[in-house]
Amino acid sequence: MLRKITPAAPPALSGLLLILCFPNWDYGWLAWFALIPLLYSLTTCDLRPTTAFFHGWLCGFIWKTGSLHWVLATHRYAGVPWSASAGGLLLLAAYLALYLGLFALAVAFFRRRSSHWTLATACAACWTLLEYLQEYSWHPSVEFPWGFLGYSQWRHPALIQTAALWGVYGVSFLLVGFNALAVCVLFPLQKQTRKLPIAGAALSLFLLNLGFGLYVLKFQTPSSSILSNPPSPRFPREKKIRVTLLQPDIEQYKKWSPQYEAEVKKTTEELLREASKNPADLVIWPEASIPQVLQEKDYLPWLQKLIRQTKRAHLVGALTRNLDRYHNSAALFDPKGNLRGLYHKNQLVPFGEYVPLRAFLGRWIAPLGEMGEMQPGKSLTPLPTPFAALGVSICYEMIFPKLIREQVRQGADLLVNLTNDGWYLGTSQPRQHLSMNVLRAVENRRFLLRATNTGISATIDPWGRILQQTSLDQRTYLSFSLSLPASQGFSFYCLRGDLLIGLSILFLLLSLFTGQAFGKQQAPPHEL
């Protein structure tokens, strides 16, 4: 019956299921089964290489078009014509779908020469390597590690604790491995295949991951990460930090219009005055909170006056200028209003903050905004405060595991993400962005504080549990107390990095040799 279905239907179904795994749908449990239709088409049919590649590409194109729909909304909000907005979305989806096309090509190859066990391993390893290539590519402009499969589990803390060992790539590896084993049970390569051991392996893979997560959450975490009770003797704590996160909810284009400058300042002052009723050691502002450039006009004196009135340290997202070079920055001020440190955004947004491949594209694309291009920072050194070393990331940087891991390795006690997701209106982008913050906290076993302009601001503990969060499009703030452990060690992932990538390469090499030992599997008689 299934063989009579249109050949492109299974990969298209997988693409639709993958959309449902992520915000706003958030049916994360579907990720354990979403790839079965695609893998069915790749393993039960003797596909030509071009057909296999197309099946993977089609699945990826549908998935990425649905998940990245906010690209269209953002361009339309900026006044870009419908045709150009839709074209930008489709081009991005088509590019990212190439990775799934390569995955499908590899699966079709290993299906011809592998046992069920080596095929499942090869599927998981190939997928993991291709996700890794989206973070480490030949040019920063094509690095876009957004929406990896492992992020689909962000609302299930027990299922993501392995990220502290292998990163988000490890969660993706488990998901793809489970899907591949399930396909081997449902649609075996050979009729005489014993299904029970394969089904047992798939179930064991899930239960081991779940069991590890439950063990960590029960025995390696305090009962509450935000202190309302005295510290537990089993989890001694030393540094208590009182923090306020500001969410001013200022409309995106009002922020940069001189016409609304007074209104933006007034809104900020009122919110800060209200938030100051709560005790705090550190006040954190979202990305680009200051209208225009910090050093221009009277913005710096105005900001320093506000800080002195609150008598607290402030971490402020602002555009800064050094001679003729502009940066997207985070500025750290002490309670007296003195500038104590600057962090400049390292990973800039292509076409949003700079024009990639300017020598080639510059003739068609004008400099961005009135200030032209931003310049990337060169340092990931944490900003020191009396209470903690702050590992600061700005917006888009949070989706790069390598950046956050390096900050922790350089001594960051507390992770802070300053974001402005006001460009994306009521789309799923802010929730997708939040989901990646959750995995960064687990990977590095650090608290992560997220301050945004329009939401979602949040406090995330080192085990990926969201302790507090705001709603979208809400003018508000979060005030709370944290206590950091007396000594914060490093997670295995933070110390060893992407060890799983090297293991995946080894798995693929072993799959090649073991596949040859097993011999070519009997293929179905028909070809697509």
Q: What is the pLDDT of residue 526?
A: 39
Which string of DSSP letters, residue by residue, matches 304-371?
HHHHHHHTSEEEEEEEEEETTEEEEEEEEE-TTS-EEEEEE-SSPPBTTTB-TTHHHHTTTSPPSTTT
CA 285, CA 268: separation in Å to the nearest integer?
10
CA 491, CA 150: separation in Å to the nearest integer?
18
> Token pair of 191, please?
């009729």
Residues 511 and 434 occupy one common structural domain: no
Calculate ∠ Cα 237-240-246, nearest 5°. Answer: 135
Q: What is the pLDDT of residue 111?
A: 82
- The verdict on whether omega for the bond into residue 456 sits within 30 degrees of 0, i.e. cis, is yes
CA 92, CA 106: separation in Å to the nearest integer?
22
Half-sphere exposure of 31 (CA within 13 A, CB side): 29
Residues 153 and 81 occupy one common structural domain: yes
Instruction: List Cβ neighbours of 128 (8 Å cut-off, separation of 6 or more).
Output: 169, 172, 173, 176, 500, 501, 504
Sheet of 313-322, strand order = 339-344, 325-333, 313-322, 282-284, 237-247, 476-485
Which of the following is catalytic: 59, 64, 184, 345?
345
Least confident of 173-182, 262-271, 397-406, 482-491: 482-491
- Among 492, 472, 476, smallest CA distance to 423 is for 472
Q: What is the pLDDT of residue 104?
A: 96
The amino acid at 46: D
Residues 376 and 256 occupy one common structural domain: yes
CA 228, CA 357: separation in Å to the nearest integer?
52
Give the C-alpha distances (Å, rounded to integers) separating 464 from 221, 432, 443, 448. Answer: 11, 15, 9, 9
* Averaged pLDDT, 364-381: 69
CA 402, CA 167: separation in Å to the nearest integer?
10
Residue 142 lies in a domain: yes
pTM of the model: 0.90
Residues 246 and 108 occupy one common structural domain: no
- Do 146 and 69 contact (CB within 8 A), yes or no? no
The amino acid at 283: V
Residues 251 and 381 occupy one common structural domain: yes
Please tell me which residue, 19 or 347, carries the higher pLDDT value. Answer: 19
Residues 500 and 450 occupy one common structural domain: no
Residue 525 lies in a domain: no
CATH number of the domain within which 268 lies: 3.60.110.10
> Token pair of 24, please?
């706003």
CA 27, CA 31: separation in Å to the nearest integer?
8
Phi, psi of 467 (to 5 degrees): -85, -35
CA 459, CA 441: separation in Å to the nearest integer?
10
Give the pLDDT confidence of 89-104 residue by residue, as tens digits.
Answer: 999 999 999 999 999 9
Residues 500 and 480 occupy one common structural domain: no
Enumerate the β-bridge partners of residue 321.
Answer: 326
- The chain-wide mean pLDDT, for the chain, equals 86
Residue 117 lies in a domain: yes
Please determine, for residue 235, whether its predicted confidence score (pLDDT) is greater than 50: no
Q: What is the pLDDT of residue 455?
A: 86
Residues 212 and 272 occupy one common structural domain: no
Residues 332 and 396 occupy one common structural domain: yes
Q: What is the pLDDT of residue 515?
A: 57
The residue whose two tokens read 């909810």 is 249
Residue 227 lies in a domain: no
Which of the following is catalytic: 59, 123, 184, 395?
395
The SS3 of residue 128 is: helix
Q: What is the pLDDT of residue 308?
A: 94
Q: What is the pLDDT of residue 332?
A: 97
The residue whose two tokens read 């009579």 is 4
> In 10 A of CB 328, how many CB atoms?
28
Q: Which domain holds residue 274?
A: 240-485
- Do 386 and 413 contact (CB within 8 A), yes or no? no
Residue 504 lies in a domain: yes
- Do 483 and 238 contact (CB within 8 A), yes or no? yes
CA 24, CA 67: separation in Å to the nearest integer?
9
CA 453, CA 455: separation in Å to the nearest integer?
6
Which of the following is catalytic: 131, 135, 143, 287?
287
- Say whether 395 is catalytic: yes
Residue 510's pLDDT band, with cuts at 50, 70 and 90, is confident
Residue 231 lies in a domain: no
Residues 411 and 335 occupy one common structural domain: yes
- Among 489, 405, 464, 466, smallest CA distance to 217 is for 464
- Say whether 402 is catalytic: no
Residue 318's pLDDT band, with cuts at 50, 70 and 90, is very high
- Among 496, 443, 475, smallest CA distance to 164 is for 443
Residue 195 lies in a domain: yes
CA 267, CA 80: separation in Å to the nearest integer?
29
Residue 234 lies in a domain: no
- Say whether 254 is catalytic: no
Residues 453 and 500 occupy one common structural domain: no
Residue 372's pLDDT band, with cuts at 50, 70 and 90, is low
> Token pair of 335, please?
């309670």
Total of domains in the chain: 2
Residues 100 and 208 occupy one common structural domain: yes
The amino acid at 34: A
Give the pLDDT confidence of 5-23 residue by residue, as tens digits.
Answer: 588 899 999 999 999 999 9
The SS3 of residue 15 is: helix
